[in-house]
Structure 1
Amino acid sequence: MVSRLISDRRREPEPLPSDPTAAREVVRAARHRRRMEARRRRYMIAGVMATAGLLAALGLGRQLFFAGDSQAAPDPPARQDEPMLTPPSQPASPPPEAGPAKGEGTFSYATSEGPVAGANGGLKKYRVAVENGAGVRADAFAAAVEKTYADPRGWTAAGDLRLQRVAGEGAADFTVFLATPVTSEQMCATAGLHTEGYSSCRITGKVIINLARWNTAIPDYGVPVADYQTYVVNHETGHELGHGHEACPGQGRPAPVMMQQTYGLKGCVANSWPYVDGQLYTGPKVP
């Protein structure tokens, strides 16, 4: 104990001299002695505490030093990034029915103007173009797009939107392109979208449909290619109209048209239309 390091023996009081001056000197000497003893006691206590702290620190450092040989520092938490969607595995050579992988990089436009789809709402005009060398006529592709937009299950069903195809390269709000895999990938990449030549995309003012997907759909889609064609036009047009991606709402239920069905149905069944049974059909929003 610290108290034992310092003598607690009490001094016997000294008799004061009869002379007043000498008596004062004795008292002063006694006070000075007590002050010095108190100061020495404080120094000794502080020294003991400092020594104890140093020993504790050395012991902890030694423990950490030797622990480092047998146990590595914990790794930082792994990042929980959203997984990137990747195309399903494809054969080394696309089937002939997929069409050419690369066209001329130029486009031909549908020649005639189409009727207005939808009864009410603001009118949006669109053009239709097909890449030269894709093996599809622009007017034939335009007819398929026009049929999709005119269906009562399509985006005009709410009664707040009308759509009309313009002739050739006339003024329009957006253009629907059918492009080969190489060209569609290049077009999508201008906005930072990397489709790997597999999927379709939308960038501002451009709905870009991949020719191979248009011709062959996707593996295990479960419905005719024509239904996939309707889906992909509605999906990418939905983006142009301001809709984001959605997820499958439940096993065995229809896939929302804004679900990325091209990358798999995730337990849902194929669905080509934004409106089902007269109601806008949606799933959980994808961040």
Structure 2
Amino acid sequence: MRRRRRRSLLVALLLVAVAIGVTLSRAGGPPAEVPATTQGRVGHGGGAGAHAAPTAYPSAGAGRFTAADGGTPVQGTDGPLHRYRVAVERGAGQDVAAFAATVDEVLADPRSWIGSEELRVQRVAEAAAADFTIYLATPVTSERMCAEGGLSTEGYTSCRLPGRVVINLARWLEAVPDYGAPLETYRRYVVNHEVGHEFGEQHEACPGPGEPAPVMQQQTYGLEGCVANAWPYLDGHRYAGDLVP
């Protein structure tokens, strides 16, 4: 009887040990695959959203885009008409109508490029009718698109190619470190900066510490002592710095 009890006890202990081992093995296995995402902080760098909860966004998307429907009236008083289209990468998690509305608001502002009274803008829906397209693309896609024109962005910055303005999703959602202004200001800046290139504008330098940064300054890489500024026209006059060679 004693031997049978000892055998039964040993068998029970072995079964418990095996069960524990299986549980530990499962717990230590590789995690389930999740979609590729990058985690950042909206308003990063001291903007209005600097203390907001982190936001996750895809680092790569489908590589295909959905264009915004409809269009806008002509904005501006005089000069050649530049028609633009707006498109958002599928899988980017961004609403194309909302992105288009922000772009429209920026480009229709009298502090934007129409402030020169030498050009006008209008959003259109059809690619054939557009002079250029403004894309919102994930970091991987934006890097690929910019590289097609020989530009290296390392998946970080936005860019402009002839007929293409490519806005990096990460910058649209996070801005940049130490920008010192709300996310909304950075978004206005990046639209005006890249569209400025489409209109033939070149990079400019910070005029001096404490001065507004020219919109054609590469503010994404740092303000160089200047203060964040989203507009090419201040107080009704074109605000600019020295051209960067």
TM-score normalised according to structure 2 size: 0.78
2:212 to 254, 272, 276: 254
Partner of 1:267: 225
**SS in structure 2 opposite 1:228?**
helix
Tell me if 1:94 matches 2:94. no
The runs of 5 or more residues in structure 1 that have no matched partner are: 1-92
CA RMSD between the two structures: 1.1
CA offsets, 1:114-156, max 9 Å, x none? 1211121111101000000011111111100000011010000
TM-superposed deviation, 1:255: 0.3
CA offsets, 1:73-123, max 9 Å, x none? xxxxxxxxxxxxxxxxxxxx5325252110110000001111211121111
Partner of 2:143: 185
Partner of 2:185: 227
The one-letter code matched in structure 2 to 1:215 is: L
**SS in structure 2 opposite 1:116?**
coil
Contact 1:98-1:211 within 8 A present in 2 as well: no
Distance 1:122 1:222 in 2: 35
Tell me if 1:202 matches 2:202. no
Tell me if 1:278 matches 2:236. yes
TM-superposed deviation, 1:168: 4.2
Distance 2:153 2:55 in 1: 20
Contact 1:146-1:165 within 8 A present in 2 as well: yes
Tell me if 1:150 matches 2:95. no
Distance 1:243 1:261 in 2: 15
Partner of 1:174: 132
Contact 1:217-1:225 within 8 A present in 2 as well: yes
TM-superposed deviation, 1:169: 3.0
Tell me if 1:115 matches 2:73. yes
Question: How many residues get paired?
Answer: 195
Higher-Rg structure is: 1
Contact 1:98-1:213 within 8 A present in 2 as well: no
Distance 1:97 1:247 in 2: 32
Higher strand share: 2
The one-letter code matched in structure 2 to 1:105 is: G
TM-score normalised according to structure 1 size: 0.66
Inter-CA distance 204–253: structure 2 relative to 1 (3 Å threshold) = same
Distance 1:122 1:216 in 2: 34
1:131 to 74, 82, 89: 89
Partner of 1:84: none
Distance 1:278 1:229 in 2: 21
Distance 1:177 1:98 in 2: 20
Distance 2:185 2:95 in 1: 19
TM-superposed deviation, 1:170: 4.2
TM-superposed deviation, 1:178: 0.3
Partner of 1:240: 198
The one-letter code matched in structure 1 to 2:217 is: M
Choose between structure 1 and 2 for higher RCO, CA contacts under 8 A separated by at least 6 residues.
2
Inter-CA distance 133–113: structure 2 relative to 1 (3 Å threshold) = same
Identity of aligned residues (%): 61
The runs of 5 or more residues in structure 2 that have no matched partner are: 1-37, 41-53
**SS in structure 2 opposite 1:202?**
strand
Partner of 2:32: none
